[in-house]
């Protein structure tokens, strides 16, 4: 059963990832958004291109926190296959200003 994020910015992020829609993905983020992967800060634009867009990344959300800003998902892309991941989002003025992801 797929869960749906209740926070509108997080829901937009997930929808953009699953649609492979770069414009919608970056529209869900603040202009100065940052991110980390497995505890290491990454260049968000380069990471998104490599891990999402050029490798057909997809999120199957399994669990959502009460505030809608922390997810557990099976993340799949052509590079790494499928893995269980945790995603935590900071939302500022209706857009994501930071996200942290990693295997979990």
Token pair in block for residue 22: 């770069």
pLDDT in tens, 20-60: 999 999 999 999 999 999 999 999 999 999 999 999 999 99
pLDDT score at 104 = 76
pLDDT averaged over every residue in the chain: 96
Confidence of residue 1 (pLDDT cuts 50, 70, 90): low
Specify the pTM. 0.95
CATH architecture of 8-103: Roll (3.10)
Residue tagged 């200003």 (tokens): 97
* 13: nearest Cα among 55, 66, 73: 73
Please write the tens of the pLDDT for every residue from 10-21.
999 999 999 999
| Predicted local confidence at residue 3, as pLDDT | 85
């Amino acid at each position: 059963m797929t869960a749906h994020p209740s926070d509108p910015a997080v829901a937009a992020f997930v929808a953009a990832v699953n649609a492979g829609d770069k414009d919608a993905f970056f529209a869900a983020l603040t202009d100065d958004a940052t991110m980390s992967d497995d505890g290491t800060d990454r260049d968000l634009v380069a990471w998104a291109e490599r891990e999402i867009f050029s490798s057909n990344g997809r999120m199957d959300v399994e669990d959502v926190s009460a505030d809608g800003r922390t997810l557990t998902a099976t993340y799949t892309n052509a590079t790494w296959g499928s893995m269980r991941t945790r995603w935590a989002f900071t939302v500022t003025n209706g857009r994501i200003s930071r996200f942290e992801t990693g295997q979990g």
